[in-house]
Structure 1
Amino acid sequence: MASFSAPLLFGGDVRVLTLEIFNARQRGDVGVALTETIVLAVISLVALVVFQRYEGTRRFAAAAMKGAARRRAPIKSGKARLFATLGGVIFTTLLVLPVATLVLVSFARDGVWTTQALPPAYTLDNYARILTQADASSVFINSMLMAGLAAAFALVWSFGVAAVVTKMKTRWRRVVSLLVLVPWALPGTVVAISIAEAYGRENPLTGSFILVGTFWILPVIYFLRFMPLVVRAVQASIEQMDASLEEAAGSLGARGWMRFWRVRLPLVWPGAVAGTLLAFVIALGEYVASVLVFVPSNQPISIRIAGEMRDFNVGTAAAYGVILICIITIAMLVASRLERGRGRGLGDKD
């Protein structure tokens, strides 16, 4: 429902709500765009409610089950092993090929690759230009700054929300968890249009703050869209924590703030940072909402890549993509390492 990039690039004449909202806003039909936004939001929220009910039922069933965990059975048949190996090779190849193609194309000289199967000329100029020219490299700094601000605010906000939610009764906990997930369930076009209309002009209901046309509109949208990821990560870490640890600290005289800093925070921190890095990674390459509200002086990397593609600078666009993949890979490796550390920390209760 929230897909925008795929229909834009490959949809052809297929009409989807996300593109219709974008086109209506580009034409200046604000009323049509808002109406379609409401329709898309209602559909997304209904899907979220259904998902939450299903998740609650599944958790209840899992809690009711007893017994040892299932173990993975080894494949003993030779034919089954062969098919499993072939399937793994094919699946891995399908995953690697797009990235390998992107790396290959990133060395193609702009303007010379037209109908050939492979680029006829290769160069390092694409990377040299991106890494040496201030205008080209500034989009990475800009994107990392906006994504970093959004992720940092989400981390601080999530500790407060998760601490309150975990102390609530089950019914209210589900309600608050559902409300927290609303920005995540809403498509980026819905969030962007809503923020643009609410903060595009002076309005007493929004404190007369104007965000449209400023640097802060994209960090605010990134925060709203990806904050639920951090909240869920922090909440999951708190729920897995052994409550007796805080009780023991309290019995030794540690007050609430000291218990938070010395007991809760060290145990929750790895999972919280992993969730924050995940939000940072997704915000770093965000395009759906950015394309609706960005300004030329505040251009994220996704918009620059789209602009290079429109100018048929395929090699430069691919080079931007490769550098972005490298940044995302580093962040994901750090997040994975922290997640493993959290698992070991929660498992060591002695």
Structure 2
Amino acid sequence: MTGTLCSPWFWISALALALLSLFVLYPLLNVLTASFTGEGPNGWSRLIATPRYLQAIQNTLILATTVTVVATLIGVPLAYVTARYSFAGKSLIALLPLITLVIPEVIAAQTWLMMLGNNGLITRALRDIGIRLPSFYGWFGLITSMSFIYYTYVYIGVVAAIGKFDAQLEEAAQSLGTSPARSRLKVMVPVILPAILASALLVFTMTVGNFAISMILSHRLPLLSVVTYQAAVAEGASDITMQSTLASVSVLIVMAVLFLNRWVVARGRYEIVQGRGARPQPLRGLKGAAVALAAGLVVLISLLPLISIILGAFTQARGPVMQWGNWTFANLERVFVTAPQPLINSLTYAGVATGLSIAFSAIVSYVVVKKPNIFTPFVDYISAVPLALSGTVLGVALLATFHGGWLPLSGTATIIVLAYVIRRMPFGMRNGQATLHNIPNSLEEASISLGVPPVRTFFKVVLPVMLPAIAAAAVLTWTTTVAELSASILVYSGGRETLPIQVFRLIDSGLMAYASAYGLVLVAVILIPIIVAAKLFRIDVFAAK
């Protein structure tokens, strides 16, 4: 034990546990306990007595279930035809859905409105020929926009599972007289079911915690993330009871769904040995054209936000009225010349947060994997907690905990950076740990045997081997951090607006042209590092997901 106490890694793990306890565990526990405190009835009594809150929970569960089902019905067939068939345009159809992952949700909501809103481009075009679409606000817009964003997560998870599925199992079933369709249903589906359920769980939890699209498109429809934000804004941090209660409900929903998912998977677990995947079958003629058209239509719809934001950024506008067909650079001039502070803030806060997150993740991952001690299991568990928290819950927790008292961070840039680091830290932790498990201990032992101290060995020997994974995690952390809205909009103060917050405020004011310009710059800020990482450093950012 004395040797352990003398090790610098022991004290580093103790410091990491202290920081995680202070900035992750303590705010979360503060939210959970605050729902039972306060003057008058506790938060749960007020929740039950308020029809709007109960309606918000019900609507959120209905929305999350519907979006999960629709996204699965889109993502699984697209994954199947991409993995099993070759057809015209397959390479583009397989790649383009990934672009939706880097389009911030606030921009997606805005651009869907620009296309299908009450004065949208497509809405007006159809209205001119006598076709009237239902209002895009409410259920129609929420389900449509979220489904065509989140199906990508199902597609990515399932296409990998189908690609690795041993085709010999299907052939064996068919040799016994089973039809091809029935053999896939009886043999393939049970094996890839865990991947489908895991992807569906991700979609469900993301829908429950979604803030940007819910806030912009819900209109008068109460949703959990929206009423949580409204409670935080209306009541402020001086009375955190109701906002803490609503945040606790969100956490409990995610925990319940996670438990249900594990229970379902555990009841039917299938294991196969390594085999060969099925070779994609060429589709030609009418069948190939039909598959390519259907898959291409899905991808095109999901790319509408990117197309419309480019058009909107260069379109003249008079207040909220878009003058389609009239082009201008004035909107972009506002971003870079007239009001560049949101861009500067985003680059600064996201840059600092990415650096801190990756540095912390690299060192702590090393301690957890290579230098385990009494603290490292707790460090590992607590560092994964943010994966189960929505941005709204995290924002409420940080605002409630650090609004005053002995560590007042509210109103500073520090709390924004802190929210970024906590939300995205698990990316670096997961990448770092996965890489470290593949690094043999003999490398370190050889260095230490030559007289190099342990800490210096880490920086000279281990860290260079980890660099590819660290670089991939850094790019992924940057792209998701710079697009973060749900937590930062609760903790930011005047003059500290970021690009997503500025886009959100402009949409709320109806200034879609300016919002498009800021949004286009935001997409560029996200895509440029990905392109550079892919072209120069051969980093597959999406594999880090």
Distance 1:249 1:72 in 2: 46
Please name the residue that 1:188 is paired with: 391
1:269 equivalent to 2:467? Answer yes
Shift in alpha-carbon separation, 1:12–1:313, aligned structure 2, 3 A: closer
Distance 2:246 2:255 in 1: 14
Give the letter for the 2:247 counterpart. T
| Structure-1 residue corresponding to 2:116 | none
Determine whether 1:2 maps to 2:209.
yes
Paired residue type of 2:334:
R
Q: 1:88-113, CA deviations, whole angstroms, 9 ceiling, x for partnerless residues? A: 43233223332111111111222266
Report the TM-score, using the length of structure 2 for normalisation: 0.54
CA–CA separation in structure 1 for the residues paired with 2:263 and 2:460: 36
Aligned residues of 1:275 and 1:335 also touching (Cα < 8 A): no
The alignment status of 1:162 with 2:365, answered yes or no, reads yes
Please state how far the C-alpha of 1:143 moved relative to its aligned partner.
0.9
2:343 to 140, 165, 180: 140
Root mean square deviation of aligned Cα? 3.2
Tell me: CA distance 1:81–1:178, structure 2 relative to 1, closer, same or farther (3 Å): farther
Q: Which residue of 1 aligns with 2:354?
A: 151
Where does the alignment leave 5 or more consecutive residues of structure 2 unmatched? 1-207
Question: What is the CA distance between 1:248 and its match in structure 2?
Answer: 4.7
CA distance, structure 1, for counterparts of residue 486 and residue 511 of structure 2: 21
Which has the larger Rg?
2
How far off is 1:288 after superposition? 0.7
**Residue 256 (structure 1) shift:** 2.6
Q: Is the CA contact (8 Å cut-off) linking 2:357 and 2:425 kept in structure 1?
A: yes
Are positions 1:237 and 2:440 aligned together? Answer: no
Distance 1:154 1:113, change over 3 A: closer
Distance 1:248 1:61 in 2: 42
> One-letter code of the match for 2:359?
V
Within the candidate set 326, 334, 338, 1:121 is matched to 326
Q: 1:316 aligns with which of 514, 517, 525?
A: 514
- By how many angstroms is 1:337 displaced? 5.1
Is the partner of 1:156 in helix, strand or coil? helix
Cα pair distance change 1:227/1:49, threshold 3 Å: farther
CA distance in 2, matches of 1:309, 1:168: 49
Q: CA deviation at 1:52?
A: 7.9
Is the CA contact 1:112–1:121 (under 8 Å) kept in the aligned structure 2? Answer: no
Q: Select 2:250's aligned residue among 40, 46, 49.
A: 40
Determine if contact 2:398/2:491 at 8 Å carries over to the other structure: no
Map Cα deviations across residues 162-199 of structure 1 (whole Å, 9 max, x no partner).
Answer: 11221477x99776544212112211111111111111
Give the whole-Å Cα distance in 2 for the aligned partners of 1:210 and 1:183. 22
1:48, 1:175 → 2: CA distance?
20
| 1:210-230: CA deviation from partner (whole Å, max 9, x where unpaired) | 001112110011111111111
Residue 318 of structure 1 aligns with an amino acid whose one-letter code is S
Residues 1-350 of structure 1 mapped to structure 2, 5 A cutoff = 1-28=208-235, 30-47=240-257, 66-68=273-275, 70-79=276-285, 81-111=288-318, 114=321, 119-133=324-338, 136-167=339-370, 176-202=379-405, 208-250=406-448, 254-336=452-534, 340=538
Deviations 1:298-320 (Å, cap 9, x if unpaired)?
Answer: 11111111222233221111011
The one-letter code sitting in structure 2 at the alignment partner of 1:189 is T
Instruction: Spell out, residue by residue over 1:201-255, the C-alpha distance to the aligned partner (whole angstroms, 9 max, x if none).
Output: 11xxxxx110011121100111111111111111122123344444554565554
Q: How many pairs are equivalent?
A: 328
Tell me how far apart the structure 2 counterparts of residues 48 and 153 of structure 1 sit (CA, whole Å): 30
SS of structure 2 residue aligned to 1:67: coil
Q: Give me the identity figure in percent.
A: 25
1:26 offset after TM fit, Å?
A: 2.3
Deviation of the 1:43 alpha carbon: 2.7
- For 1:314 and 1:245, the matched residues in 2 are separated by 56
- Deviation track 1:111-165 (CA, whole Å, cap 9, x = no partner) reads 2664x8x7153211111222222xx112111111111111111111112221122
* Cross-structure match for 1:346: none
Residues 267, 342 of structure 1: 8 Å contact kept: no
How far did 1:335 drift? 4.0
Match of 1:347 in 2: none
Contact 1:274 1:338 in 2 (8 A): no
Which runs of no fewer than 5 residues in structure 1 stay unpaired?
203-207, 344-350
Q: Give distance in 2, aligned partners of 1:13 and 1:45.
A: 28
Aligned counterparts of 1:89 and 1:21: Cα–Cα separation in 2: 38
Equivalent residues of 2:416, 2:488 under 8 A apart:
yes
Asked if the contact 1:21–1:36 (Cα under 8 Å) also holds between the matched residues in 2, the reply is yes
Residue 197 (structure 2) aligns with:
none
Checking the alignment, whether the CA contact within 8 Å between 1:291 and 1:303 is kept in structure 2 is yes
Mapped partners of 1:129, 1:24: distance in 2:
33
Using a 3 Å threshold, how does the CA distance of structure 1 residues 311 and 272 change in structure 2: closer, same or farther?
A: same
